[in-house]
Amino acid sequence: MKNLAILASGNGSNFSAIAKAVKAKKIKADLKVLISDNPKAFVLKRAKKQRVKAVLIDRSLFASKATFENAVITILKENKIDLIVLAGFMRLLSKNFVRKYKNKILNIHPALLPSFKGEHAIKDAFDYAVKYTGVTVHFVDEQTDHGPIIAQAIVPIVKNDTLKSLEAKIHKIEHQIYPAAINLVLKGKLKPKGRRVV
């Protein structure tokens, strides 16, 4: 059984979807730990409810990014983590961290990459008035929202959509596509080869 860690900073709806998929054996893994950098993150309460070990590593208590990431790495090593899943983790990981866990970090982005990179992807797509946006699951590399794409799903933006309704549609798709993609990676069925995933 592979060991999974989730890194999250906020509400944690993707964390809940993944934890439920693990319990339902739709993800064949042991969800060992949730790591959060934010003491106010609601995801910490979600982890308690799901009975998943939660570790708070408050970024504000560390003098540098390197010392913060070393604390994260210590927890990952203690739990013998095979795959790291970012679920609304609002910190850019350093190149050293990404290299250390090459091809072992996944992220979900609420847009069809390479369009609408960055923190406000749903709002950016809505404000741009595109007809379609979506969700992308990808391996994390040394650039932001850039690594090889594992899966994408299209979400149409219709005339009566609001930003709130679009966010709800995006999150619904995220909760379906992310657990499925995680499971395929854990089973060794998907591996990056250049820009492609084979």
The candidate with the shortest Cα–Cα distance to 175, out of 88, 47, 84, is 88
**Would you call 7 helix, strand, or coil by DSSP?**
strand
Asked if 109 is an active-site residue, the reply is: yes
Read out DSSP for 127-192? HHT-SEEEEEEEE--SSTT-SPEEEEEEEE--TT--HHHHHHHHHHHHHHHHHHHHHHHHTT---E
The single residue of 109, 120, 138, 175 carrying the catalytic annotation is 109
The candidate with the shortest Cα–Cα distance to 3, out of 85, 68, 97, is 85
Active site residues: 109
